[in-house]
Chains A and B, each alone.
Chain A
Amino acid sequence: MTIPVPPGQLYDCRDAFVATLEALAQKNSDIIAVCNDSVGSSKLGGFRDRWPDRLVNVGIAEQNMVGVGAGLANGGKIPFVCAASCFLTGRALEQIKADIAYTNTNVKLCGISSGMAYGELGPTHHSIEDFAWIRALPNIPVIAPADRAETIAAVEWSAQYEGPVFLRLSRVGVPDLLPEGHVFELGKANMLRDGTDLTIIANGVLTHRAMAAAQVLAARGVSARVLNMATVRPIDRDAVLAAANETGAILTCEEHTVFGGLGSAVAEVVVETRPVPMKLLGVPGIFAPTGSANFLLDEFGMSPEGIAASAAELMKKKA
Chain B
Amino acid sequence: MTPSELRVIANRIRRRDLQAVFEAGAGHIGGEMSVTDILTALYFRVLNIDPAHPDVPDRDRLVLSKGHTACALYVTLAEKGFIPKDEISTFLKPHSRLNGHPNRTKVPGVEANTGPLGHGLPIGVGMAMAAKLDKADWRTFVVTGDGEMQEGSNWEAIMAAAQFKLDNLTLIIDHNRLQQGARVADTNNVAPFAPKLEAFGWAVEEIDGHDMAAISAALDRGAITPGKPKCIVAHTFKGKGVSFMTDDVAWHHKVPSADQYKQAMRELEEAV
Contacts and interface: CB of A to CB of B under 8 A. Distances in A.
Contacts of B140: 71
Given A59-B159, A98-B114, A104-B105, A71 B124 contact: yes
B122 interface: yes
Contact of B130 (A63, A76, A102, A103): A76
A64 B122 contact: yes
Interface stretch (A50-58, A111-119, A254-262): A50-58
A94 to B, nearest CB: 5
B21 to A, nearest CB: 23
A306 B26 CA distance: 58
Contacts, number: 110
Nearest to B124: A71
Interface in B105-140: 105, 111-116, 118-119, 121-131, 133-134, 140
B113 A64 contact: no
Contact of B116 (A56, A61, A94, A103): A94
A181 to B, nearest CB: 33
B157 A54 contact: no
B61 to A, nearest CB: 7
Contacts of B163: 59
B25 interface: no
A63 B159 contact: no
Interface in B229-255: none
A316 to B, nearest CB: 49
B156 A61 contact: yes
Given A54-B133, A61-B160, A98-B113, A71 B125 contact: yes
A70, A79, A94, A102 interface centre (most CB from chain B within 10 Å): A70
Contact of B127 (A54, A75, A94): A75
Contacts of A102: 103, 105, 113
A72 B134 CA distance: 11
Contacts of B160: 58-59, 61, 64, 68
Contacts of A79: 126
A72 B129 contact: yes
B57 interface: yes
A77 interface: yes
Given A59-B159, A61-B159, A69 B126 contact: yes
A67 B122 contact: yes
Given A95-B119, A98-B119, A71 B128 contact: yes
Contacts of A75: 57, 61, 126-127, 129-131, 133-134
B129 A68 contact: yes
A74 B61 contact: yes
Contacts of B157: 64, 67-68
B140 to A, nearest CB: 8
A240 interface: no
A65 B123 CA distance: 9
A66 interface: yes
A226 interface: no
18 contacts: A56-B164, A63-B122, A63-B152, A64-B122, A68-B125, A71-B125, A71-B126, A73-B126, A75-B127, A75-B133, A76-B130, A98-B115, A98-B116, A102-B103, A102-B113, A103-B104, A103-B105, A103-B112
Interface of A: 32, 53-54, 56, 58-59, 61, 63-77, 79, 94-95, 98-99, 102-104
